[in-house]
Amino acid sequence: MSITGFCFSGVIRVGSNGATPGNPELKVGKATGTPATGRKTWDSNLQNGLDSTWVAVSFTAKSGGGINGVNLTVGGSTVVFSGASYGAITQLTFVANVDGAGKRFSFRNVVVDFYENDTDVDPAETVEVSDASAPIASTMGASEPAADSASLDVKPSDTYSKMVVSAEVRLESTDTGLPSSDSIAGTIYVFTASCS
């Protein structure tokens, strides 16, 4: 699934399952340019497949940038990106992708708080996504070749300066061993009124 027109995104993927050196599991950045990256071990024993269980996610951004700019925290691992200047937040798109049989990426408990000003502590609008609507990409039980993707747009009723996303994600694979780095992935794309 190809998404265009966004300002920045947060990517959660199988990567190298925390092994170093290896491909990072977490990435935050603009549509072009070098992203900030972070590491996360999803499962310490891949002999019976990969299962991250449910992992808490927080994705925050302020249009003024601020000291921390855009922060993605996944299960205690935080990535900070400050290489974008952007205007009012107009839409978020959540995407789950898997490539290859026996894989699943799931979102659940998705809540997006929108704030009028960067310094506000009380949201002006909250969008709660039902678990039935949260994106899940799954090829469990399929035979090769197999791939799946699912997406969800979250649009506030107004434009806002700051957002805080909270959710949980789960990465699963029946493969014994490490799947390829992008074969199980979820991305949160953020669209803004301006981006530079």
- Report the alpha-carbon angle 57-82-152, nearest 5: 40
Q: Is residue 131 part of a domain?
A: yes
Q: What is the overall mean pLDDT for the chain?
A: 94
Query: Per-residue pLDDT for 127 more than 60?
Result: yes
Q: Is residue 170 part of a domain?
A: yes
Separation between Cα atoms, residue 74 and residue 109, nearest integer Å? 14
Query: Per-residue pLDDT for 69 more than 90?
Result: no
Task: Report which of residues 167 and 67 the model is more confident about.
Answer: 167
Residue bearing tokens 């019976």:
48
Instruction: Give pLDDT, residue 73.
Output: 96
CB crowding 40-77: b at 16 or more within 10 Å, else e: bebbeebeebbbbeebebebbbbbeeeeebbbbbbbee
For residues 2-18, give the mean pLDDT: 95
Instruction: Give pLDDT, residue 2.
Output: 82
Instruction: Give pLDDT, residue 65.
Output: 54
Q: Is residue 1 part of a domain?
A: no
Separation between Cα atoms, residue 84 and residue 81, nearest integer Å? 8
In 3D space, the residue among 115, 89, 96, 30 whose CA is nearest the CA of residue 57 turns out to be: 96
Tell me how far the alpha carbon of residue 79 is from its chain's centroid. Answer: 12
Q: Is residue 3 part of a domain?
A: no
Instruction: Give pLDDT, residue 62.
Output: 87
DSSP 64: T
Query: Per-residue pLDDT for 66 more than 50?
Result: no
Number of structural domains the chain divides into: 1
DSSP 183: S
Instruction: Give pLDDT, residue 68.
Output: 55
Separation between Cα atoms, residue 142 and residue 135, nearest integer Å? 18
Instruction: Give pLDDT, residue 67.
Output: 46
In 3D space, the residue among 115, 191, 179 whose CA is nearest the CA of residue 144 turns out to be: 179
Q: What confidence tens digit (pLDDT) does each residue in 136-163 have? A: 999 999 999 999 999 999 999 998 999 9
Task: Report which of residues 83 and 126 the model is more confident about.
Answer: 126
Q: Is residue 2 part of a domain?
A: no
Q: pTM for this structure?
A: 0.96
Query: Per-residue pLDDT for 17 more than 80?
Result: yes
Give residue 158's domain range: 8-192
Query: Per-residue pLDDT for 32 more than 50?
Result: yes
Instruction: Give pLDDT, residue 64.
Output: 65
